A and B are shown apart, each in its own frame.
Chain A
Amino acid sequence: MTTIQTTELDRYHRQMLLPGIGEEGQRKLMNAKVFVCGCGALGTVIANMLARAGVGHLVIADRDFIEMTNLQRQILFDESDVENALPKAEAARRKIAQINSQVKVTTFIDDVNHTNVEKMAADCDIILDGLDNFETRFLLNDVAVKHRIPYVYGGSVGTTGMTYAILPHSHPDDANETPWELAGAATPCLRCIFEQAPPPGMNPTCDTAGVLGPVVSIVANYQCVEAIKILTGNYSAVRPTLLSFDVWENTIRQLKVARAYDVGNCLCCKQRQFEFLEGKFASGTTTLCGRNAVQLTQKLAEGRKLDFDEIAQRLAAHGQVKANKFMLRADITDNGNAYELTLFTDGRAIVKGTKEANVAKSIYAKYVGA
């Protein structure tokens, strides 16, 4: 625990006036480490709000770079970030440094998967998701239950939103109870409530069905509210229901889920099977739904990096190439089809212009190397 000077507290005066927070709560926030997983629409709002609230250390993970269509709702980014082809996590880090220099930020410009998620979430006091898919959310849920870290889920598409706070139940073998269990505030996990991810088609994404900027902000701010309650130890104030709303149809529902843990036989929090963390469903490719793109997650050996200069020279013959120290982007025409290839230094790639994993793999093999 680092020592906090009284002068560092001054800027949080309005927040410390709140009876649930006070100076003691503020110090807890300033000593907290938070994992923001995904830094798109939800994640930028979360990172922005928690940095302003004075959370001591933010760990931000995101695999993507910034596009112009993100700016409608992803509040930490601007046109110059698009122009500079910055990865989202890096742009967020730079912006947060301007917002609140007291906040330490650690970034992972990477796909979050079963091989790296425990490293990212290590020592974090809470996990907030800013994700766009259920596979990774179930992965976070596994981490949250296994390591007894609170996790706040948020989702948003169209004009609808949903959020829910997981305060995991301990395993009977655990030596001690968590503070939220002592407060009688443990909640069912995400898989107690959603046994399976909805398949494509039942599962509109923001890229296919659109999304209203304010609705994502509302969801993310609700996530932050629950995070601040949890980090300041106000466990009994945490909303125990699954909140679901539609801002266009003016409906708000609080779905009662508390019985899900007692009555259900959840694979994750009751049976302790961490299928997602064990990599049971992992693959080397992910189709980025609605974006006509495929992500290839194969990596170079630890410590090795792609030589962007060499690749840029090679690909210049095929189309426009742009590179900075984080990524290289090349337009490629192959057999009359246009692709946009984005490479990260560790070997990860996003191939735009196809939904087929095999096509993406062959483009990578052909132009980058196997």
Chain B
Amino acid sequence: MEVTISIPTALRPQVDNKDTVKVTGSSVREALGALTAQYPELGKRLYAGENELNRFINVYVNDEDIRFMDNLDTALKEGDEVSIIPAIAGG
């Protein structure tokens, strides 16, 4: 499955300043794995441990939070949109 991952501004320096990256994967785990294999620096920001995202990172598939689906095992289908969206602190 090819899916599009959108990258927040704060993390773009780790992905050659791209705003989206297309990867293949049948779950969120596979898609993020493909992304961080390509951009290892990004992986250091996203993961707290082997199989665990940092708690300040929210990942959405088609605007649904993966924590309330199957987390990293949430299944993906062709054309899905995966978004990494951190909280905005400024104001």
Q: Which residues of A contact B (CB under 8 A)?
A: 38, 40-43, 129-134, 137, 154-158, 160-162, 193-199, 201-206, 209, 211, 216, 219, 244, 246, 249, 253-257, 259-260, 263-264
Interface centre among B45, B60, B86, B87 (most CB of A within 10 A): B87
**Does B30 have its Cβ within 8 Å of any Cβ on chain A?**
no
Output the least CB separation between A273 and chain B (Å): 15
- Pair B89/A198 contact, Cβ less than 8 Å: yes
- Pair A130/B10 contact, Cβ less than 8 Å: no
- Pair B87/A194 contact, Cβ less than 8 Å: yes
**Does B80 have its Cβ within 8 Å of any Cβ on chain A?**
no
B58 touches which of A194, A205, A216, A246 (Cβ 8 Å): A194
Tell me, in angstroms, the Cα distance from A259 to B45 when the chains sit together.
26
User: Which chain A residues lie closer than 8 Å to B56 at the CB level?
Assistant: 194-199, 202
User: Which chain A residues lie closer than 8 Å to B55 at the CB level?
Assistant: 195-196
Interface centre among B58, B67, B83, B91 (most CB of A within 10 A): B91
B91 touches which of A154, A194, A197, A246 (Cβ 8 Å): A154
Main secondary structure of the interface of A (DSSP, over half): mixed
Tell me, in angstroms, the Cα distance from A42 to B89 when the chains sit together.
12
- Pair A198/B87 contact, Cβ less than 8 Å: yes
Main secondary structure of the interface of B (DSSP, over half): loop
- Pair B63/A254 contact, Cβ less than 8 Å: yes
**Does B78 have its Cβ within 8 Å of any Cβ on chain A?**
no
Tell me, in angstroms, the Cα distance from A129 to B91 when the chains sit together.
9
Q: What are 9 residue pairs bridging A and B, where the CB atoms are less than 8 Å apart in the complex? A: A133-B89, A155-B88, A156-B90, A198-B56, A198-B89, A205-B89, A209-B90, A256-B64, A259-B68
- Pair A160/B88 contact, Cβ less than 8 Å: yes
**Does B15 have its Cβ within 8 Å of any Cβ on chain A?**
no
B83 touches which of A196, A199, A204, A253 (Cβ 8 Å): A253
Tell me, in angstroms, the Cα distance from A259 to B66 when the chains sit together.
11
Tell me, in angstroms, the Cα distance from A308 to B23 when the chains sit together.
62
User: Which chain A residues lie closer than 8 Å to B90 at the CB level?
Assistant: 132, 155-158, 204-206, 209, 211
B68 touches which of A129, A202, A249, A263 (Cβ 8 Å): A263
Chain B: residues with Cβ within 8 Å of the partner, total of: 23
Tell me, in angstroms, the Cα distance from A43 to B91 when the chains sit together.
8
Tell me, in angstroms, the Cα distance from A40 to B90 when the chains sit together.
10
Q: 9 nearest interchain CB pairs?
A: A155-B88, A157-B90, A196-B55, A259-B68, A42-B91, A198-B56, A195-B55, A206-B90, A196-B56
- Pair A204/B58 contact, Cβ less than 8 Å: no
**Does B17 have its Cβ within 8 Å of any Cβ on chain A?**
no
- Pair B68/A132 contact, Cβ less than 8 Å: no
- Pair A202/B86 contact, Cβ less than 8 Å: yes
A203 touches which of B10, B83, B85 (Cβ 8 Å): B10
Assuming the A-B contacts A193-B58, A219-B91, A263-B68, are A202 and B63 also in contact, with contact meaning beta carbons closer than 8 angstroms in the complex?
A: no
Q: With contacts A204-B10, A244-B85 known, what are 20 further pairs, Cβ within 8 A?
A: A38-B91, A40-B91, A134-B87, A134-B89, A137-B89, A155-B87, A157-B90, A158-B9, A158-B90, A197-B87, A198-B86, A198-B87, A199-B56, A201-B10, A202-B10, A204-B9, A244-B88, A249-B19, A253-B83, A254-B63
Tell me, in angstroms, the Cα distance from A134 to B87 when the chains sit together.
9
